[in-house]
Structure 1
Amino acid sequence: MLAKEGQPLMPCHPARARELLRKGRAVVARHAPFTIRLKDRTRAQSDVDGVQLRIDPGSKGTGLALTDVKEESDSHGVSPARRGLISLELQHRGDQIRTCMDQRAGYRRRRRSAKRRYRAPRSLNRSHAPGWLPPSLRHRVDTTFSLAKRLCRYAPVTEIHVERASFDTHSLSTGKRLTGASYERGTLAGTSARAHLRSLWNNACAYCGASGVPLNVEHLRPRCRGGSNRISNLVLACVPCNNAKGSMPVESFLADRPTLLAKILRQVTAPLTDAAVMNTTGWQLMSALATLDRPVLPWPSRLTAENRKAMGLAKTHTLDALSVGPLEHEAGGRIVRLPSHVLVVRATGRGSYARTTPDRYGFPRLLRTRAKQHFGYITGDLVRAVVPTGKWAGRWTGRISVRARGQHSLGTPDGRFNVSHLHLRLLQRGDGYGYGTRPEGSRRIPRKNG
């Protein structure tokens, strides 16, 4: 909720917001996240205690929650009670960015190897600015910071609490905790990967058991499908088996031999992609949030898990965000209220920079239009459609995909259909995100004993 001059006020209940809109005392400032602006009250006329923004960063998604703390009395006296006001779940698209970049790199490699004009590869001595991150990781930091900045604009945030998790990838890769020289030098110190694989697979092909033949180092999960060079992703394979498998996943190649597949998969350990993402982006996110001119307090993930289990909450990003920071169980601190619904914010991007549509070999074949706006609308705009006749007659609200002929495609919960631009009214410009809601996973709050 915003004051008359646009400054943030304390969030209100949805029923209170509907009442203010019905009486004409407020107007809609933004639809997602839903924000109203009062027409008859300034910030000086309001009591603003402030709220806390709590963030639970993740590799695939991030949870954010706005909370406040009130003193409540019970049989043990007065104790602090944390109330959840608003919960948001931000869904990243880092995997999509990585897939697109791998596809583009594949196009470049194919063009260089084809019988065309030779194009020398670029040198590998290019330097990066301090703090540089790959685009798929930079996206996670930027989108989380952007949403946090937006919440600080619409709510009186006084503190930012962030879960700071770090993962020991060395111990995760070996399945056991390493100490001393083993941690510093690694488990394969003094040997080579090929020698280790020869001893592991008895100097024979892992797929057919052939020995005494030339053996190649084979990736269980191919590099083109996201596989790494970790020792747990490598096996020895003879030349015929290596050629027959090609770029197939090992699950498809050994689908008719489940016993052998299970034996090989026992070697594979959990991937470290998500752990590496969290280790890489953690401090970058903290540095970005510090520019919002609000105290940024990091808290260990262990504390979040303890608070969530003590309150009997389910394991979700939003409930983890609600549990970030100390609850002061000794003083009777607890979580007394959860938001009934979560605003799901999905990063969709603002379209593609590509001006041509490539074929499967990476060569341009179709020319894309340079205009993104047609008849005053762009893809991703939130609109309200009033369809006078036909199968879809009625009032509809949703996001559109624009068409040059003026018949835009409108997506609604009941389906997608084409509607003329003459029947549309703009509610909110597309900002690179898609919005939806879902019920919160758990609302069970245990009462204090006694």
Structure 2
Amino acid sequence: MSKVFVIDSEKRPLNPIHPAQARQLLRNGKAGVFKHFPFTIILKEAKPNQQIQVLRLKIDPGASVTGIALVNDSTGEVVFAAEIKHRGFAIRESLTSRRQLRRSRRNRKTRYRQPRFNNRAKTKGWLPPSLQSRIANIKTWVERWRKVSPIEAISQELVRFDMQLIRNPDIQGKEYQQGTLQGYETRQYLLEKWGRSCAYCGIKDVPLQIEHILCRAKGGSNSITNLALSCEKCNLKKGTKDIREFLKKDPARLEKILKQSKQPLRVRPSGSPVAYGGKPACSAGLTSSQGAGNPPSGLDSPLADAAAVNSTRFALLSVLKETGLPVETGSGGLTKFNRTQRELPKTHYFDAACVGKSTPEKLIVKGVKPLLITANGHGTRQMCGTNKHGFPIRHRTRKQIHFGFQTGDIVKAVVTSGKKVGHYVGRVLCRASGSFDIATKTGRVAGISYKYCKSIHKKDGYNYAF
């Protein structure tokens, strides 16, 4: 069972205790609640003679979710577990949208403007904000757990994904060096891949244009997996529409295009092109790890996840070493071996508990319930809200705190009269009128007066659940 963190009267971390023992200390008035997430109590007197059992913080970093586990190496007990859900992809979409709106505004108001890209040279070790946020989330929580628990060592899974193997499970030998377009020009490659016909309507013997499946205006790349052939009529009709919207009336063709877009070509000894796996180029299928439901290049895909982990692994290692604690690294294969040997299910927090050679022979995981942490950010500083076309439609007030509450606080509301009598706990949305909304587990409750609300956790950019 996940334990409760304890600190003494001088805010020094002590051994985590069982929840029943924590309830008894609170009931007898010997301790008070220090914070709710993670739940921590503070003793009203110091305990200088207590023998501290050191813990190891183990991290399984991921692109969307990072698993965390606090393990006692001497007993094998998993003291605490958590999963951090990152917002890196949301940040990327926000930056793309903001860039598009800014360019549109400049085009409308400025005839010509000299490029200034060289004025913004990137520093050594720079990472995009979408990747940096993942490292910042982990760093924040490592610092928070060090303040409430006796952590003396850290373990990190230092994994590197083989991007070419993800695209093509059959790749081997010198094929790693040849690349997808080896022996082809782009247009010739696409002609062979798409059967010299329009991907959207199937027409042949007409001039064909190179088309981005996910348009550049919505973050699409020039990767060969994001390119297709299209006749002029289909190209103009699709425009900047999402492919799912464009082909919503023809799901069979949509599924075929999504499958074929990811499938590379190879050449038989006879010289006729085929897709990897031996299927004809015009009906190529994906591997089991790349189903038809996966979005094309530029959206949240297994390749995007793998690229995010590959790009941040050493930056995260550097951040962890700055803590001054010994940092152990382990491979993904070792993590899987440890988890399989201990017969644990595949979860992010159990993967974290099995990272590295320091993993105890027996892990005590009975009753462990992870704290689910979702990164929401701290809101926006934009004073002028815009619609999807970039035109202003609303203006925000500078005042963020109303009646002592701020949007994002976790509150407890005990309503004693009116139509909404009851107890509500959740994230609050504040208004200057004093009528708040509370997002609870069962749904959103509107029209709760600030008079019934009591703050239990101030806004910190994260949301919590079990």
Cα separation, 2, equivalents of 1:239 and 1:339: 61
Structure 2 letter corresponding to 1:192: E
Match for 1:86 among 73, 80, 93? 80
- Would the aligned equivalents of 1:87 and 1:339 in 2 still touch at CA under 8 Å? no
Let me know the Cα RMSD of the aligned residues. Answer: 2.2
Partner residue in 2 for 1:192: 185
Cα separation, 2, equivalents of 1:358 and 1:254: 29
Q: Indicate the SS of the match to 1:102.
A: helix
Normalized against structure 1, the TM-score is what? 0.87
Partner residue in 1 for 2:54: 50
**Unmatched runs of 5 consecutive residues or more in structure 1:** 71-80, 438-450
**Unmatched runs of 5 consecutive residues or more in structure 2:** 1-5, 263-289, 291-300
- Would the aligned equivalents of 1:54 and 1:66 in 2 still touch at CA under 8 Å? yes
Partner residue in 1 for 2:64: 60
Cα separation, 1, equivalents of 2:441 and 2:253: 46
Partner residue in 2 for 1:290: 321
Amino-acid identity (%):
37
- Would the aligned equivalents of 1:307 and 1:327 in 2 still touch at CA under 8 Å? no
Q: Map Cα deviations across residues 292-326 of structure 1 (whole Å, 9 max, x no partner).
A: 12111111011111122222222211111111123
Instruction: Give the Å deviation of 1:129.
Output: 1.4
- Would the aligned equivalents of 2:410 and 2:425 in 1 still touch at CA under 8 Å? yes
1:206 lines up with 2:235 in the alignment: no
Task: Count how many residue pairs are aligned between Structure 1 and Structure 2.
Answer: 421
Instruction: Give the Å deviation of 1:93.
Output: 1.0
Partner residue in 2 for 1:399: 427
Change (3 A) 1:119 1:432: farther
Partner residue in 2 for 1:241: 234
Partner residue in 2 for 1:379: 407
Match for 1:28 among 33, 38, 44? 33
Q: Which moved more, 1:398-407 or 1:196-205?
A: 196-205
What does 1:23-172 align with in structure 2 at a 5 Å threshold?
Answer: 23-42=28-47, 44-70=48-74, 81-114=75-108, 116-118=109-111, 120=113, 122-125=115-118, 126-172=120-166
Q: Indicate the SS of the match to 2:38.
A: coil
1:223 lines up with 2:216 in the alignment: yes
Partner residue in 2 for 1:447: none
Structure 2 letter corresponding to 1:398: G
Q: Map Cα deviations across residues 43-91 of structure 1 (whole Å, 9 max, x no partner).
A: x221102111111111111111111033xxxxxxxxxx52111111111
Change (3 A) 1:264 1:432: closer
Match for 1:342 among 370, 392, 397? 370
Q: Which moved more, 1:161-170 or 1:272-281?
A: 161-170
Q: Which moved more, 1:302-311 or 1:137-146?
A: 302-311
Structure 1 letter corresponding to 2:206: V
1:274 lines up with 2:305 in the alignment: yes
Normalized against structure 2, the TM-score is what? 0.84
Change (3 A) 1:173 1:124: farther
Structure 2 letter corresponding to 1:347: A
Cα separation, 1, equivalents of 2:58 and 2:182: 43
Cα separation, 2, equivalents of 1:14 and 1:121: 64
Structure 2 letter corresponding to 1:426: S
Match for 1:426 among 429, 437, 455? 455
Partner residue in 2 for 1:443: none
Change (3 A) 1:292 1:218: same
Instruction: Give the Å deviation of 1:14.
Output: 0.8
Cα separation, 1, equivalents of 2:19 and 2:313: 34
Partner residue in 2 for 1:446: none
Cα separation, 1, equivalents of 2:340 and 2:67: 17
Cα separation, 2, equivalents of 1:267 and 1:325: 39
Partner residue in 1 for 2:390: 362
